[in-house]
Chains A and B, each alone.
Chain A
């Protein structure tokens, strides 16, 4: 049975003495863009919020970090790192694919199930309590980046 996270986290925050956490609830029907071409012809982008960075890059901090990292398509999987305060990093650090499915996507590109991966992927540390700062600071920049990559389809991988 899917876990009821909203209730669980609300109870956790209440027990800690915080006022009720204001979840983002989007009421409006989301925008819809049908795939412009078959997946086998699509350029596919990847955005992940599990705090993935490449060794050599500055790591995320844990206090509403609205920065993002650019992960080049030719990165070595063994150079990927994970840092985040709100999930157990054990498996992500052993195998970053669990929150950044790069090997699987590379396999599908090679097989021809997707046309081509984007040249650059984007990652951030999703533990940001200010929804306003996500909307105002992070989202516009990621949108610009994805448009510059000319992706037809984007896979979002949250944690």
Chain B
């Protein structure tokens, strides 16, 4: 099978060295586009999938031609931002209580 790896961290993608890469210069957590922008999400995936045709050597990375819609100031925020990672809990972390009840109900 042929693979294509999206990503928003170009240096990490180069270290990983996948067969095909498509880099999107967007903030972490938006690898496939901005929220509530189905038009832009579609264009991003179309441009990304085009790499299956246009990339011809292993390890090449296509730079997707999109800028974050609100501009590039988010890059400064990354460099100066606080480490916002959560603790590494070892029990399932549900998005909401309803999910937890649904999941636990199945296993009763």
**Which A residues are within 8 Å of any B CB, using their own CB?**
1-8, 12, 16, 23-36, 39, 45, 50, 55-64, 81-83, 85-95, 97-101, 103-105, 107-108, 113-114, 127, 146-147, 151-159
Q: Which of A57, A81, A89, A159 has the most CB of B within 10 A?
A: A159
Judging by beta carbons under 8 Å apart, are B29 and A99 in contact?
yes
Q: Which of B29, B34, B88 has the most CB of A within 10 A?
A: B29
Closest to B10 in A: A2
**CB contact list, B67-108 vs A, under 8 A:** 72, 75, 78-79, 83-96, 98-100, 102-103, 106-107
Judging by beta carbons under 8 Å apart, are A33 and B2 in contact?
yes
A86 to chain B: closest CB distance in Å?
5
Closest to B33 in A: A98
Using a Cβ–Cβ cut-off of 8 Å, how many residues does chain B contribute to the interface with A?
65
Judging by beta carbons under 8 Å apart, are A25 and B15 in contact?
yes
Residues of A within 8 A of B33 (CB): 97-98, 101, 104
**Which B residues are within 8 Å of any A CB, using their own CB?**
1-7, 9-12, 15-19, 23, 25, 28-36, 38, 41-42, 44-46, 48-49, 52-53, 57-59, 72, 75, 78-79, 83-96, 98-100, 102-103, 106-107
B21 to chain A: closest CB distance in Å?
9
Residues of B within 8 A of A25 (CB): 15, 17
How far is A45 from B52 in the complex, measured between Cα atoms in Å?
Answer: 14
Known: A61-B91, A63-B88. A26 touches B16 (CB 8 A): yes
